[in-house]
Amino acid sequence: MNQEFVQIKNGRSLLVYSFVIKTWFGYYLLSKLNRRFLSEANWEIRKKIFFKKKGREAKHIFFQLGGVYIKIGQFVSNLFHILPEEFLWELQELQDKVPPRPFPEIEGRWSQNFSVPLHEIFTNLNEVAHASASTAQVHIGFYKEKKVAIKILYNGIEEQAKSDLKTIKRVLWFFDHFILSISGKEVSSQLEEMISTELDLRNELRYLKRTKQAFIAEKDFVFPEPVSEFCTKSILVTEFIEGKKIYDFKPEELIAKKNPYLEKMIRAYLLMIFEFRFFHADPHPGNLIFLESGQLCFIDFGAVQEISGDETRLLEKLLLGAMRKDYHLMADTLYELGAVNDHLGKEELCKILKYSMDKLNHILLTTKNFRNLGWDTLKPGDDLRFLKEIQVSLKFLFKSLKLPPNFLSLHRVLALLLGNFSYLDPNRSLFEYAEKPFSQIVLKGSSLRKRWRDEGEEILASSLSLPKELYEFLYQLNRGEFVFQWTEDKKVGNKQLLLREQFTYGVLGSIFFYFGIYYAEKSWKEPSLLFYILAGIAFWSFARAAWSYQNKK
């Protein structure tokens, strides 16, 4: 029996290996040999046919393997920013069209938890699954005249998941040791933790309630209300939310302006990661519902990841370093985060970071359509040449990298979000949508800093109605034309004193205000508050001196 079980597991792995090798070899023949004899138009047609066919084959393999492999297929099916559309469209059924299990099997799982049958509790219960996924399926019914979604785990899914995870763990170990270092141990442990969490629906109930509470002040987001009396380890019943899915929209509908749903999506994730310290880790299209009211609804909180304050702080430092092109700050943060070990020197790491950021900026500036970027845009050959120039091998680079805790989930979220964004708005990058909410949530007012730097003098002057003499004073002082002259006229002397006070308090207020914003960006609340208070006192003194000057005219 054990031997038979091992053969089944090996057969599942060989099925995946066989598909990957055949796909690579087929595309190599098509692109390197057949293309020479094809016109450009015929080449495009043949390429689309090839990827469509391989997409169908991949879909059948994922359906055949089921369980954890469908999770992997769901992840791949949303990579519109990298993989060909023809291939990915064939995989969309993995999102919520996984072949359902027979309803009697679902009833059997229910009866293990409750003595009263499903039909006696829920009216108009539809025995046809509304959605079926890798580990559970959902049926729709009514409870107390309210439409509800009934999510029930498959029988035996826990044992099957354990078996698949062991196989994936061995594959990752082999890949990590004999092909390319990918932090296989960390990847497999995080994947195992994620799947085990999803297989206990009590975790999903807890995070659903927690998320609803966290977003209580955010009116653009909706979350289903749970029916707690029917929620167990293998069953979750919630309110059913009506709306559209991502692929119900045509990308061209909002091509001339930013998609408001995407703006809400990026705001939600910045809030979750940088304020709430936990995030929905599975934003694939089947888990996002767009309401006619313009609100965005998240469902399926089976995959939720906690993130610590230290991890959030380091992420902020890393992002701020990237914005300022401070590669030394980025390198120090990566070392502190544990993402890079000491084998890779700081000088080489800074060069790699600079190259990566320059390449990213180039892609953002020159790319007109972010859907299916392809290898022609990414140009991995350039990366290998660069590493050769700085005398760092690819194998050594991967050996120097380590996947920190939680970052497998963060990487997965980013990849899924990029896919969602590249489908709904292929003409804009995710970064264009992130700029405003990132400033509001993460930088906490850096837009004020920019405004102060660009327009501070005009704002200050207009708000306090400064006298003409002060403008002339600042202008002459800046050009070195102002000469302090003492006079015996007491009235003139007092006015000059008040003028100097206005200048002094104005400069001090500006400096204090600048440092208040500077420390606020670093989330250092105490020094930031102190400088804001000092700025307020200085500007109040400035206004008082200006008022006194006006009265002495």
The string of pLDDT tens digits covering residues 37-49 is: 778 778 788 888 8
Radius of gyration from C-alpha coordinates of the chain = 30
Is the pLDDT at 447 greater than 50, yes or no? Answer: no
272 compared with 443, residue with greater pLDDT: 272
Whether pTM exceeds 0.85: no
Q: Which residues contact 475 (CB under 8 A, 6 or more apart)?
A: none
pLDDT at 527: 66
What's the average model confidence in pLDDT over 445-457?
41
pLDDT at 256: 65
What sign does the CA torsion over 194, 198, 202, 207 have? positive
Half-sphere exposure of 281 (CA within 13 A, CB side): 25
pLDDT at 486: 45
What sign does the CA torsion over 118, 124, 125, 131 have? negative
pLDDT at 537: 80
Burial of 508 (0-12, 13-18, 19+ CB in 10 A): middle
pLDDT at 124: 94
pLDDT at 209: 95
β-pairing, 296-298 with 221-222?
parallel
3-state secondary structure of 297: strand
Query: What's the CA gap between 238 and 380, in Å, rounded?
Result: 46
- The answer to whether the CB of 145 falls within 8 A of the CB of 360 is no
Is the pLDDT at 176 greater than 70, yes or no? Answer: no
Is the pLDDT at 463 greater than 50, yes or no? Answer: no
Burial of 38 (0-12, 13-18, 19+ CB in 10 A): middle
What's the average model confidence in pLDDT over 475-495?
50
The proportion of the chain whose per-residue pLDDT surpasses 70, expressed as a percent, equals 74
- The answer to whether the CB of 202 falls within 8 A of the CB of 246 is no
- The answer to whether the CB of 244 falls within 8 A of the CB of 424 is no
What's the average model confidence in pLDDT over 317-330?
86
Lowest-confidence range among 209-213, 331-335, 410-414? 410-414
- The answer to whether the CB of 259 falls within 8 A of the CB of 391 is no
pLDDT at 40: 76
pLDDT at 11: 63
pLDDT at 298: 94
Residue labelled with tokens 């970052």: 407
For residue 332, CA distances in Å to 66, 107, 143, 339, 391 come to 42, 55, 55, 10, 21
The mean of the pLDDT values for the chain is: 77
Task: Name the most confidently modeled range: 101-115, 403-417, 430-444.
Answer: 101-115
Is the pLDDT at 368 greater than 70, yes or no? Answer: yes
The amino acid at 273? I
